């Protein structure tokens, strides 16, 4: 706020003296300045957004939500930086945002740790930082103003409770479930939470967890990891994919190996469980290729904007802002699950049998 006012005064002085307007923030290689050219005018809010990358359908939907929200027409100058899933690129981008004296820094952190130094620099520059999607682990929570995202631990627990309820309904013994976990980017909040949810289920119900390996949230890596696991184990009957794109790759690998994904392990089929509920993911649920897909909503643009507008109005905002999410399955064998969220609150969560109508009506 202070910086914008100062830049307006400077611009006005420049205009008066030189009849020249003030330019917008310079964009760096890897960044794109998506807003108006005049980031110094009094009512344009300049946002520096460091995005993880473009690794998945979820991430694409998240980026589109942010770009659609922080548009020039809506009064924003968005400097968007794609870090290609590298923390060092995010740290460089944040430093560039600081140098450009943006009004807000939005960070979608690739992993939870390693942010203290650069967030201290933003804090010292008096630039509010909003964490989006995954969480950061910092020595002082004052280094970020607020966080908006999903409860990945609850997501994992929902998936594990669905698997237990489904197997129980089918009369399958827990020790007959031979599970591989294709994990997300190691150290990311989504991986940490979803992995923990599964591991708690293994401990609680006695499932056989054969292997865990990162698929880096990508389809290519998911396929590569599944191919390798199929060579190591001949009894896999549940594949727990920590996002839809890994599931797409795993399904390709399973089918290429002459095996079948489906809903009945007694028929020799392999159950695939996933997260994100993207359009393609839910289409696979409808086709019986994914048995259960736990929602992780990427549409954080409007939510982040509401936080910024509240801050602009001098209002207090919650430190943690969790979004509500659903569970979708191929049928109604399991009608609901009980699970505990990251705030240690137990809840009952309905399971929605997927239909084409539901898919057609969703925003991503």
CA pair distance 1, 309, nearest whole angstrom: 12
Told to check if 150 binds ligand GZL by CB under 6 A, we report yes
Residue located via tokens 């008096």: 126
Shortest Å distance, C-beta 106 to ligand GZL? 14
CA pair distance 314, 317, nearest whole angstrom: 9
Cβ neighbors of 1 (< 8 A, separation 6 or more) are 103, 312
CA pair distance 179, 144, nearest whole angstrom: 38
202: alpha, beta or left? (left if phi > 0; alpha if psi -120 to 50): alpha
Q: Which residues pair with 106 in a beta bridge?
A: 49, 130
What DSSP character marks residue 14? H
CA pair distance 211, 143, nearest whole angstrom: 37
CA pair distance 306, 297, nearest whole angstrom: 16
Shortest Å distance, C-beta 271 to ligand GZL? 19
Binding to ligand GZL by CB under 6 A, coded x per residue (else -) over 75-114, reads ----------------------------------------
Shortest Å distance, C-beta 72 to ligand GZL? 27
Q: Which of 167, 239, 282, 296 binds ligand GZL (CB under 6 A)?
A: 296
| Token pair in block for residue 112 | 């939870």
Cβ closest to ligand GZL, residue 58 vs residue 104: 58
Q: How many residues does the chain have?
A: 364
Angle between helices 244-256 and 279-286 (to 10 degrees): 50
Q: Which of 217, 240, 248, 349 binds ligand GZL (CB under 6 A)?
A: 217
Told to check if 158 binds ligand GZL by CB under 6 A, we report no
Told to check if 55 binds ligand GZL by CB under 6 A, we report yes
| Token pair in block for residue 193 | 């939470």
Number of residues engaging ligand GZL in binding (CB under 6 A): 14
Shortest Å distance, C-beta 56 to ligand GZL? 4
User: Which stretch in 53-61, 157-165, 256-264, 279-287 sits in contact with ligand GZL by CB under 6 A?
Assistant: 53-61
Shortest Å distance, C-beta 297 to ligand GZL? 9
User: Which stretch in 5-13, 16-24, 41-49, 55-63 sits in contact with ligand GZL by CB under 6 A?
Assistant: 55-63
Told to check if 59 binds ligand GZL by CB under 6 A, we report yes
CA pair distance 252, 261, nearest whole angstrom: 10
Site for ligand GZL in 262-291 (CB under 6 A): 275-276
Cβ closest to ligand GZL, residue 77 vs residue 219: 219
Told to check if 157 binds ligand GZL by CB under 6 A, we report no
Count of CB atoms situated within 10 Å of the CB of 235: 8
CB 208 within 8 A of CB 177: yes
Q: Which of 31, 39, 50, 56 binds ligand GZL (CB under 6 A)?
A: 56
Instruction: Using the CB atoms, write b or e for 328-362: b if 16+ within 10 Å.
Output: bbbeebbeebebebbeeeeeebebbebeeebbeee
User: Which stretch in 24-32, 54-62, 164-172, 335-343 sits in contact with ligand GZL by CB under 6 A?
Assistant: 54-62
Beta strands of 170-323 (E only): which ranges? 178-183, 208-214, 238-241, 271-276, 292-295, 320-322
Shortest Å distance, C-beta 220 to ligand GZL? 13
Shortest Å distance, C-beta 279 to ligand GZL? 13
Shortest Å distance, C-beta 119 to ligand GZL? 19
Told to check if 58 binds ligand GZL by CB under 6 A, we report yes
User: Which stretch in 3-11, 33-41, 50-58, 336-344 sits in contact with ligand GZL by CB under 6 A?
Assistant: 50-58
CA pair distance 132, 70, nearest whole angstrom: 14
Cβ closest to ligand GZL, residue 6 vs residue 343: 343
Told to check if 33 binds ligand GZL by CB under 6 A, we report no
Residues at the contact surface with ligand GZL, assessed by CB under 6 A: 55-56, 58-59, 133-134, 150, 188, 190, 217, 243, 275-276, 296
């Amino acid at each position: 706020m202070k910086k914008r006012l100062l830049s307006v005064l400077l611009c006005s002085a420049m205009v008066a003296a030189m009849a020249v307007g003030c330019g917008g923030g310079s964009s760096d290689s890897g960044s794109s300045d998506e807003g108006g050219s005049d980031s110094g005018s009094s009512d344009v809010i300049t946002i520096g957004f460091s995005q993880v990358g473009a690794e998945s359908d979820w991430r694409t939907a998240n980026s589109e939500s942010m770009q659609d929200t922080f548009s020039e027409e809506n009064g924003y100058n968005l400097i968007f930086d794609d870090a290609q899933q590298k923390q060092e690129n995010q740290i460089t981008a944040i430093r560039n945002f600081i140098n450009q004296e943006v009004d807000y820094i939005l960070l979608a952190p690739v992993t939870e740790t390693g942010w203290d130094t650069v967030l201290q620099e933003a804090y010292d520059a008096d630039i509010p930082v909003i964490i989006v999607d995954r969480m950061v682990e910092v020595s002082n929570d004052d280094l970020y103003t607020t966080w908006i995202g999903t409860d990945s631990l609850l997501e994992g627990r929902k998936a594990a409770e669905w698997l237990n309820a489904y197997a129980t309904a089918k009369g399958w013994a827990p020790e007959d479930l031979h599970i591989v976990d294709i994990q997300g980017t190691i150290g990311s909040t989504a991986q940490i939470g979803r992995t923990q949810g599964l591991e708690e289920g293994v401990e609680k119900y006695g499932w056989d967890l054969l292997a865990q390996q990162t698929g880096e949230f990508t389809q290519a890596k998911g396929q590569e990891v599944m191919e390798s696991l199929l060579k190591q184990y001949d009894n896999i009957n549940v594949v727990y994919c920590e996002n839809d794109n890994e599931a797409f790759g795993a399904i390709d690998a399973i089918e290429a190996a002459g095996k079948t994904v489906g809903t009945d392990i007694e028929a020799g089929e392999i159950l695939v469980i996933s997260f994100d509920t993207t359009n393609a993911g839910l289409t696979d649920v409808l086709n019986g290729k994914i048995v259960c897909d736990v929602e992780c909503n990427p549409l954080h643009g409007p939510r982040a904007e509401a936080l910024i507008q509240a801050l602009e109005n001098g209002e207090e905002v919650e430190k943690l802002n969790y979004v509500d999410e659903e569970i979708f399955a191929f049928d109604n064998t399991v009608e609901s699950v009980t699970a505990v969220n990251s705030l240690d609150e137990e809840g009952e969560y309905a399971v929605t049998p997927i239909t084409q109508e539901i898919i057609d009506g969703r925003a991503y």
